[in-house]
Amino acid sequence: MEQRSHPRFIVDSLDISGRIMFANKVEILNISVGGVLLKTDKRLNVGTIYMLRLESKGKLLTIPCKVVRAELRESHKDSIGQSIPIYSAGMQFTNVSNEQINAINDFLKGHVIGYQKQEHTAMDKISDLRLYVRFLIKTPDQATIQCYDSYKMKDISMGGIRIESYYCLEIGENQLMEIVFPGEKTVKFSGKVISCFLLGDKEPKQYDIGIEFLDMSDQDKEVFKSFVKSL
């Protein structure tokens, strides 16, 4: 604490918020040309649009998806005995171009191993009321969901920030983040997690997280410096 090279200012009373961009690994349960059913250790919000990224054989397929159903599926213990919830999410592909539809078809051709037999429900329907056959597929090399999670700012300095988040971050990992200052001025940056502590016994769980700045554009640096000088 005494070795900090920049003065730190407490700003939790200013209600400054921000967002962290996550790339959560997911498991594809089944997929069609209209949507996907997947498993993830992060609850996805119904009605929210996320980006699904499927990487396989050197090719990348990115599709915007809207969550139409999300529910707790199971749970397991991590290495220190904490319970990790696993969710399932039914997602509908949205705002896809003809090029993306062709790319989805090509992906299915290279990965299908069978059909998913099930009763049709409301989540199987898309805007034009057609139903799509769901396929079981070979696991892609990597499947991730890109999403943003909000956080609250606790304190700030020219070298980094301390935040409060519902999401536990691994020390040493790099994150793409942004800060929204009063007046809707936004600063984007990449940061390194240098600390992460569970805050008491709050439910849902919350974490106190220290972030060190790694990279920020010159324009965003000026906005950031201007705000810090005003404190």
pLDDT tens-digit series, residues 126-173: 333 334 555 455 555 578 888 777 888 999 999 999 999 887 888 898
pTM of the model: 0.59
Cβ neighbours of residue 97 closer than 8 Å, sequence gap 6 or more: none
* Average of per-residue pLDDT values in the chain: 79
Amino acid, res. 77: K
**Residue 165 · residue 70 · CB < 8 Å:** no
Same fold for the pair 9-21+148-230 and 22-145: yes
ω before 85 within 30° of 0 (cis)?
A: no
**Domain range summary for the chain, segments of one domain joined by +:** 9-21+148-230, 22-145
Cβ count near 64 (within 10 Å): 16
For the domain spanning 22-145, the CATH number is 2.40.10
pLDDT tens-digit series, residues 80-93: 666 778 888 999 99
Q: CATH number of 9-21+148-230: 2.40.10.220, 3.90.580.10, 2.40.50.140, 1.10.260.40?
A: 2.40.10.220
